[in-house]
Amino acid sequence: MVIVFENQQNHLVTDGIKLSSTLSRRLFAIFNQAIGFVFIIPVLMNVPDQEVAKRNVAKWIVCPPPEFFDMPIFILAEDSYLIRWSVSSMLAIYLAQGSFCIIHCSYHLISKTRKLSFKTRNMQRKFFITVCVQIFLPFTIIGIPVCFLVFSVATGYHNQLFNNVAMILMSLHSFLSTIFSIVMQNNMKKGGFLCCKKTNGISSNYQSK
């Protein structure tokens, strides 16, 4: 998300604060990608004893299923402090960068700081809005389950129904991202319809033979 908005800002903003060199943009991308892997390290360095953690977790699960005792289960952490600290730090860094890029792009698209024709500016606005919708809708779909899981870990609240729904929504993230991309981009939408028409034509010709 951050890299996409940084790319938008780099192309829309001609003067002001932005990463102009290719090296700085690559380092920016590497830094943000590394955060997604590094934030979990403090939690992995404090993995509890599995037998003790399993007994402690069983105390606050109402009617645990037999699989909880029979099957191998890995408990990442008992203390929610590290998880909250790690996830909050990662989100704070991403949201700060993303918010800056969005606000900066919006300012340059609204304030008319660049000498652009009305048609060009209107096309840039439409594309920027499309990118925002295309990113934020799938992000919201996966963000709500993640927020619930963090809330569940932090407060000790357990609801198996909500857990199942959260996992289903998270598993649909890639599928919904593709659907939003097709719906929001006219070229992809037209290309999809064209492929369907060609496929139907080939299948009908094949059946007629």
pLDDT for 203: 43
Measured CA to CA, the distance from residue 10 to residue 149 in angstroms comes to: 35
What's the token pair of residue 43?
A: 């939690």
pTM for the whole structure: 0.66
pLDDT for 204: 43
pLDDT over 60 (residue 53): yes
Gap between the terminal Cα atoms of the chain: 49
Q: Where are the domains of the chain?
A: 1-115, 117-209
Place of tokens 């009305």: 118
pLDDT for 193: 55
Place of tokens 């908005």: 5
Over residues 6-21, the mean pLDDT reads: 76
Query: Could you give the angle at the alpha carbon of 84 between the alpha carbons of 66 and 78, nearest 5°?
Result: 35
pLDDT for 127: 80
Q: What is the pLDDT of residues 92-151, one digit of tens each?
A: 888 888 888 888 888 877 776 566 677 777 788 888 887 787 777 777 777 788 788 778
pLDDT over 50 (residue 209): no
pLDDT for 198: 55
Q: What is the pLDDT of residues 144-200, one digit of tens each?
A: 887 887 787 777 777 778 888 888 888 877 777 777 777 766 655 565 555 666 555
pLDDT for 195: 60
